[in-house]
Amino acid sequence: MAGNLELLESVLAKAKGEGRAALVGYLPAGFPAVDGGVRAVTAMVEGGCDVVEVGLPHSDPVLDGPVIQTADDIALRAGLRITDVIRTVAEVHAATGAPVLCMTYWNPVDQYGVERFAADLAEAGGAGCILPDLPVEESAVWREAAARHGLATVFVVAPSSRDERLAKITAVGSGFVYAASLMGVTGTRESVGEQAQDLVRRTRATTGLPVCVGLGVSNPEQAAEVAAFADGVIVGSAFVKRLLDAPDLESGLDGVRSLAGQLAKGVSRGA
């Protein structure tokens, strides 16, 4: 079974055709538990997310701030396995029909087996992988496996990336480019800043791929601000926080669904 790279591309193109940015939501698998996590990611789509990212919890998440680290720790302490992450992708895609990406650091993929991971993710209906710590120079084995199985390979670029580096990264990526809005880790912030707009401009000069901005977006106003210059707005920590702060799962799901709806209005307003 081929993965859903083409579905991802068509959903991003549809949003662009509607004159708006796509809303991309992130939650780690296994949080607050495996089944609850499936319901939570599904709730993001029900609320208005166009694309979702399922995180593969990691014990040393270099890009993730304290909110997502807390959720990862809860999942890992409960015994989460990669097969649970794949199941989450499969069940969310089956329930929603939305493109579902896996966001993961490289080590778990390498340990699981590159070909096996790509095949299992594609079989689950996954659309691709976001690999924040995989250097382009060392990515050929994964990219070849992903291409065989119809999966996107999404690389992360940062404000510190020089123009020549951006060109090197975007030349081999697929699906979209993940533009980190600032230097640092994930988390909600008061302002997304001008760095993100400059990074999107410089990235677009090197590629025709959509450029989606993440890190720091947590409310409709920020979503509208980013949507004015990016192809997609990525939100993670704010969704995780809704679940962490909720007194029970049902309240958390309502919070996630509500936030997705608010953010969806924000990205449309920013068009």
Active site residues: 53, 64
Inter-helix orientation angle 114-123/140-148, to 10°: 30
DSSP state of 153: E
Residue 53 pairs in a beta bridge with: 26, 101
Measured CA to CA, the distance from residue 184 to residue 51 in angstroms comes to 24
Helix runs in the chain, H state only: 5-17, 34-47, 66-77, 82-96, 106-112, 114-123, 140-148, 163-172, 194-204, 220-227, 237-245, 249-269
What residue has token string 């029909």?
97
What number of other Cβ atoms are within 10 A of residue 60's Cβ?
10
